[in-house]
Amino acid sequence: MIYLLYNPRSNNDHNDINVILKGKSQSNVTSVNLLTSDVRELLPKLTAEDKVLLCGGDGTISRFATNTYGFEFPCPVCVLKSGTGNDFVRDINENETDKVEQLIDIRQYLKNLPTVEYKDIKAKFINGTGFGLDGEVCREVEEQKKRSNKKASYTAAAIKLILGGGYKMPHARVVIDGVTHEFDDVWLVSTMKGRYYGGGMMVTPDQDRSSDELSVLVFHGGSRVKVLSVFSTVYTGKHVKYKKLVEIFRGKSVHVEFDKPTALQMDGEVETDVLSYTAYMDGYEPCK
C-alpha cells in the first residue's frame, strides 16, 4: 500500500489531492490529510511492503519529522516536493526531480535532528531556524499571501524591510557551547542543520546535515545599501566572503537572545514577537 500524506495548505494553498493523483493509479493508494489526521495513528499499520509518500513543502516535512521522531519506519519514506521552498529536497539532492519513480528514501534524514525551543514551542527542524530579518521576511510573505492570491516574493519582502527601514536591528547575545558572543546591529542569527532555507538561499554553504554539529550564521553591521548588496549573494553562498558582516560558528548547543522582539522562522513556519530561541542536537544540554 502507498500512503500518500499531504498538506493541502502547501504550495500557497494549491496542494490539491486530485491534482497530485491526476494520471496516477489509485488502486493501492490511501490518501491522508495531515491537517485533519494524526499521522501517529498510521505508524502501527505500516509494513515492509508499504511506502509512505510525503507530499508537501519544508514545513510539512518538519512537522512530520517532529511527530514521528524516534520511530523506526519498516518501509521507504519518500518526498514528493510540492511546497513553495523545497529546500530540504534541494539540499539532499542537487539534481532534484519531480518523478515519483526517482524519489529518494529520506529515512536516514529523519534521524539525528536538532531541537528548537522558543516561547512554549518545542520541535525538531530539518533545515534551519532563523531569528531577525529572515523571520521578518517570512512574516511579510505570509501577510502578502493573505492579501493576494499572487505568488509572494521573498526577495521583494527583503528589499522592503532592508531599504524601507521596516526592520530594526537589535543587539544579540549568542551562546554557542557555553561561549558567549555579543553583537550590535544584528540582521539575523540563523542556526542551520542543512545548507538552505528561503527557497534556495545557501545560508551555510559548508554545513553537512550528516554532522552532529550545527552552523550558526550571524549577519551584523553595515549600511542598509551594503547589506542589501551582500544579502543578494546568499543564493550563491558568496555572502560568507564578507567577513566584516558575516560570521559563521559551529556547535552542538545554541542560545540566541535579542533585546527587542522579532519574528522567528523554523523551516519556513513563522512565530512573531520572539525574544530568544535555543537549538541543540540530541544528547546535548540546551545552553542559555
Question: Which CATH number goes with the domain that contains 63?
Answer: 3.40.50.10330
Q: Are residues 60 and 192 in the same domain?
A: no
Of 222 and 101, the structure prediction assigns the larger pLDDT to 222
Domain-embedded: residue 286: no
C-alpha cell at 27: 488502486
Domain hosting residue 165, numbered range: 115-280
Q: What is the CATH number of the domain that holds 274?
A: 2.60.200.40
Same domain, yes or no, for 105 and 128?
A: no
Is 99 a residue whose pLDDT tops 60? no
pTM score, whole prediction: 0.89
Query: 152 with 169, same domain?
Result: yes
Q: Are residues 22 and 92 in the same domain?
A: yes
Give the pLDDT confidence score for residue 169 in this predicted structure.
Answer: 94
> Which of 110, 141, 174 is the endpoint of a domain?
110
Q: What is the pLDDT of residue 100?
A: 42
Distance, CA of 211 to CA of 202 (rounded, Å): 17
| Residues 180, 40 within the same domain | no
In a domain, 181, yes or no: yes
Cβ atoms 85, 93 nearer than 8 A: no
120 shares its domain with 241: yes
Domain final residue pick, 110, 126, 153: 110
Q: Report the range of poorest mean pLDDT among 137-141, 243-247, 258-262, 269-273.
A: 137-141
Coil vs helix vs strand at 62: helix
* Together in a domain, 160 and 191: yes
Residues 6+ positions from 125 with CB-CB distance below 8 Å: 62, 65, 113, 114, 115, 116, 193, 266, 267, 279
Residue 287 lies in a domain: no
Cβ contact 187:161 at 8 Å: no
Judge if 159 and 88 occupy the same domain. Answer: no
The arithmetic mean of pLDDT across residues 78-99, rounded, is: 71
Domain total of the chain? 2
**29 and 98 together in one domain:** yes
Name the domain boundary from 84, 110, 136: 110
Handedness of CA 217, 129, 85, 90 (dihedral sign): positive
Query: Is the Cβ–Cβ distance between 205 and 239 less than 8 Å?
Result: no
Say what the pLDDT of residue 158 is.
87
Instruction: Name the pLDDT band for 102 (thresholds 50, 70, 90).
Output: low
Q: How far is Cα 7 from Cα 11, in angstroms, rounded to an integer?
A: 9
